[in-house]
């Protein structure tokens, strides 16, 4: 692991604060979890995101026991 990569890795303080920081600023994620999508969309609970998935308004795939939601589809949903 290079020094720059290690420093970016250390910036992820999700284990101590419960919040994730962007490891590589300027890059969009490929996918986000339901909890992250809820926060990004400004919803109060995850039920609204699950409803959007069920209705096909945002694209998601199930990976094990979690949904991975396409970041691009979230942007398209918000932009109309």
The DSSP symbol for 35 reads H
pLDDT digits (tens, 9 = 90+) for 13-54: 444 445 555 667 788 889 999 999 999 999 999 999 999 999
Q: What is the pTM of this model?
A: 0.67
Domains located in the chain, CATH noted = 29-80 (1.10.10)
Give me the residues paired with residue 67 across strands.
62
Please give the Cα distance from 22 to 28 (Å, whole number). Answer: 9
For residues 52-78, average pLDDT: 95
DSSP-derived 3-state class of residue 21: coil
């Amino acid at each position: 692991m290079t020094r720059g990569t290690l420093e970016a890795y250390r910036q992820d303080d999700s284990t101590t604060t419960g919040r994730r920081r962007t490891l590589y600023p300027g890059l969009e994620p490929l996918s986000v979890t339901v909890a992250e999508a809820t926060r990004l969309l400004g919803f109060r609970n995850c039920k609204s995101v699950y409803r959007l998935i069920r209705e096909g308004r945002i694209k998601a795939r199930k990976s094990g026991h979690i949904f991975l939601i396409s970041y691009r589809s979230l942007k398209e949903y918000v932009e109309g």
